[in-house]
Amino acid sequence: MVLRRMVVDAVLVEGRSVREVATAFGRSKSWVHDLVTRYRLEGDAALEERSRRPVSSPRRTSEAVEEAIVRLRKELSELGADAGPQTIAWHLEQLDGTSPSPATIYRILARRGFITPEPRKRPKSSFVRFEADQPNECWQADVTHWALADGTDVEILNFIDDHSRLILVADVRRVTKGPDVLTTYETACRRWGIPASVLTDNGAVFNGASRGGITAFEVVLGRAGVVYKHSRPYHPQTCGKVERWHQTLKGFLAKRDPATSIAELQGQVDAVVDYYNERRPHRARGRITPAAAYAARDKAQPGMSGMDPHFRIRHDKVDVGGKVSLRFGNRMLHLGVGRPWRGTRVRLYIAGDDIRVVSEDGELIAQTTIDLTKGYQKMRKPQ
């Protein structure tokens, strides 16, 4: 909805052309034109996401067959006989010579209220394992906890290569913060190269979605053309390889004397990583070491398209110093709009690291591209 609002405002408020707006936001001219036309007719309702479900489906089970399934369900239930999907399928086969699959019958009965779905344990054979085809095609990252000898809780940030299971880096810190993630990632890149994609959970140190923003880590990935992916909430299986490494690491550390300092624990972790990468044959890699698996194939490269821009709109008022504030990349930045605009209410249109400041009447006041090395950003005046 934010993207649609920005597109509509760019055309109707700022007065930019459809072609210019389509190019700026990476959309087709027809998409922008249709959205603006719909907005003129419907107002804000046109900005809501619309269902893509087709009006009709030629492959949907006919109403006659559905009624036959329901009728058999009632008849068999009244008889006290089994009235499950497999039994109904057999009876339909006897009556009509054909029948939908038991799975289809189950879905029809559930939709019509005859079955209350219950969670069932899935057989192991039903699980599908995903694995990157090349080294550096996907890195997984996560933070785990460990305790020093005196009970002090510390955190270990890990990056693992999805294809080879190579541990790229493992850093111990008292607390892992957003800038620490970026530092560790850049350390891994200097040794192993830049990955094509990175997968993490929804931790705030990795992505800013929970706060409606974007982290420095996401910005750096996007600028390098690295695709950033994250798991859905409460689903650690998506990052299963790094989660499994946590178990292995803790199993090794539990056999050693508790470390009395972060430096000592870092030494223990480094020794485990060296053994795991170079000498321990990995069952998932055909009993070869992760280092051998990593070296055996060509390395994937980051794509050229970069990540999809992060879009948001922020309303603010220029302060007495001619500035507005913006939280971006784990930092609070100050944008120099200009003293002549102090006290003016403005809208900040944020597309990735591109910022445009527009007055309430649609005048473009200033624009800039964020530089994360500076806390104060001097904005350019429009030509």
DSSP code of residue 340: G
User: What is the share, in percent, of the chain residues with pLDDT greater than 70?
Assistant: 90
Sheet holding 227-230, edge to edge: 167-173, 153-161, 139-147, 197-200, 227-230
C-alpha R_g of the chain: 28
Average pLDDT over residues 276-288: 78
Whether 166 shows a pLDDT value over 90: the answer reads: yes
Q: Which two tokens stand for residue 228?
A: 């950033």
Average pLDDT over residues 317-332: 83
Question: Would 139-295 and 311-378 be classified into the same CATH topology?
Answer: no
Of 337, 341, 343, 344, residue with least CA distance to 366: 337
CA–CA distance, 163 with 256 (Å, rounded to integer)? 29
CA–CA distance, 198 with 159 (Å, rounded to integer)? 9
CA 233 to chain centre: 10
Cα dist. 292→215, 241, 280, 283, 331 in Å?
34, 18, 11, 13, 40
Residue 348 Ramachandran class (φ > 0 left, ψ -120 to 50 alpha, else beta):
beta
Label residue 163 by pLDDT band (50, 70, 90): very high
Judge whether 107 and 61 are in contact, CB under 8 Å. no
CA 76 to chain centre: 47
Q: Which fold has domain 139-295?
A: Nucleotidyltransferase; domain 5 (3.30.420)
What is the reported pLDDT for 363?
87
Q: Kindly give, in sequence order, each residue whose CB lies less than 8 Å from that of residue 98, ignoring residues fewer than 6 positions away.
A: 92
Whether 212 shows a pLDDT value over 70: the answer reads: no
pLDDT digits 0-9 by tens, 242-278: 999 998 899 889 888 999 999 999 999 999 999 889 8
**Beta-bridge partner residues of 359:** 346
Label residue 307 by pLDDT band (50, 70, 90): very low
CA–CA distance, 170 with 185 (Å, rounded to integer)? 10
For the chain, report the end-to-end CA distance as a whole number of angstroms: 29
Which amino acid, one-letter code, is at 121? Answer: K
Whether 235 shows a pLDDT value over 70: the answer reads: no
The reported pTM is 0.54
Whether 124 shows a pLDDT value over 90: the answer reads: no
Average pLDDT, the chain: 85
- H-type alpha helices, the chain: 2-12, 18-25, 29-42, 63-79, 85-96, 102-111, 178-192, 216-223, 240-254, 262-278, 290-295
Which amino acid, one-letter code, is at 226? Answer: V
DSSP 3-state of 101 = coil
DSSP 368-379: EE--TT-SEEEP
Q: Which fold has domain 311-378?
A: SH3 type barrels. (2.30.30)
CA–CA distance, 83 with 96 (Å, rounded to integer)? 18
Q: Kindly give, in sequence order, each residue whose CB lies less than 8 Å from that of residue 273, ignoring residues fewer than 6 positions away.
A: 167, 170
Which amino acid, one-letter code, is at 156? Answer: I
**Tokens 């930092």 label which residue?**
331
Angle made by CA atoms 342, 346, 350, in degrees to the nearest 5: 125
Q: Where are the domains of the chain?
A: 2-47, 63-111, 139-295, 311-378
Label residue 306 by pLDDT band (50, 70, 90): very low
CA–CA distance, 142 with 156 (Å, rounded to integer)? 8
Average pLDDT over residues 224-229: 87
Average pLDDT over residues 13-29: 90
What is the reported pLDDT for 80?
53
User: What is the share, in percent, of the chain residues with pLDDT greater than 90?
Assistant: 33
